[in-house]
Amino acid sequence: MTSTWLITGATSGFGRLVAERALAGGAHVIAIGRRRDRLAELADQAPRGQATTVPQDSPRV
């Protein structure tokens, strides 16, 4: 059975590393981050259907 990981901050740093490792291990990753371009890169690198991206915009004050 495939595991599913919900990872926040998946566009850079530790969150990106965890997302890449989880994908490499065959997990389905729900990746959340603010940078749409980096989320798209992550999804493009993942096997088809293995990554779901959720862009979140930070509120502007």
H helix intervals, 1-61 = 13-24, 36-45
- Domain annotation covers residue 61: no
Alpha carbons 35 and 50: distance in angstroms, whole number = 19
Q: Does residue 12 sit within a domain?
A: yes
pTM of the predicted protein model: 0.87
In which domain, by residue range, is 23 found? 4-55
Does residue 60 belong to any structural domain of this protein? no
- For residue range 20-38, what is the model confidence (pLDDT) as tens digits? 999 999 999 999 999 999 9
Pull the structure tokens for residue 40: 């798209």
Burial level of 30, CB count in 10 A (0-12/13-18/19+)? Answer: middle
Predicted pLDDT at 59: 67
Number of domains in the chain: 1
Is 26 domain-assigned?
Answer: yes
Residue 33, in any domain of the structure: yes
Which position has the higher pLDDT, 1 or 20? 20
